[in-house]
């Protein structure tokens, strides 16, 4: 359980790693950033069952590019609160998750919807490129699942 301070009203809110719906501030009801960690045992509950698109960051503590990308992903999770959930997976501590997704290099970013990978990117990118990739993929995957008129 993480404690997230609402950027709108300042109230501190407890946000579980796994839950139905999307986290919202208890006071002002604005969406809260949803950032969680997962390992081999918790991945299915934390990432696969989410109602929001899930951005999975497969990283390792010894990886310099991973340490550069991590704060960018945190900022994006805050900016896109209510639209995406960020799940961080340490590849060293969760070899099963890394194997499941055939991770060959880190950082590897996976955008998932209902347990299925809809987009993938390996390697560090500058913040504007990561933002553009994520926003494009969120829009594309939302369009792909919307019924056509």
Residues 6 or more apart from 122 whose CB is under 8 A from it? Answer: 103, 104, 105, 106, 107, 108, 109
Known active-site residue 25: no
Q: How far apart are CA 8 and CA 126, in angstroms?
A: 27
Report DSSP state, residue 128: H
Known active-site residue 63: yes
Q: Which of 6, 9, 25, 63 is catalytic?
A: 63
Q: Write out the E strands in the chain.
A: 2-5, 12-15, 34-38, 54-59, 85-90, 108-113, 116-122
Residues 6 or more apart from 62 whose CB is under 8 A from it? Answer: 92
Q: Is the peptide bond before 107 cis (omega within 30 degrees of 0)?
A: yes
Q: Which of 6, 25, 28, 66 is catalytic?
A: 66
Q: Listing from the earlier edge strand, what are the strands of the sheet with 54-59? A: 34-38, 85-90, 54-59, 108-113, 116-122
Q: What residues are annotated to the active site? A: 63, 66
């Amino acid at each position: 359980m993480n404690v997230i301070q609402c950027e709108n009203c300042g109230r501190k809110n407890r946000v579980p790693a796994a839950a139905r719906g999307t986290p919202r501030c208890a006071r002002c009801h604005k969406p809260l950033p949803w950032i969680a960690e997962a390992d081999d045992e918790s991945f299915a509950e934390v990432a696969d069952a989410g109602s929001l698109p899930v951005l999975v960051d497969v990283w390792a503590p010894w990886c310099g590019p991973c340490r550069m990308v991590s704060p960018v992903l945190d900022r994006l999770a805050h900016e896109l609160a209510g639209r995406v959930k960020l799940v961080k997976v340490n590849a060293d501590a969760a070899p099963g998750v890394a194997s499941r997704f055939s991770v060959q290099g880190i950082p590897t970013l996976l955008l998932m919807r209902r347990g299925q990978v809809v987009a993938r990117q390996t390697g560090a990118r500058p913040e504007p490129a990561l933002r553009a990739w994520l926003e494009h993929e969120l829009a594309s995957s939302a369009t792909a699942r919307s019924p056509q008129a």
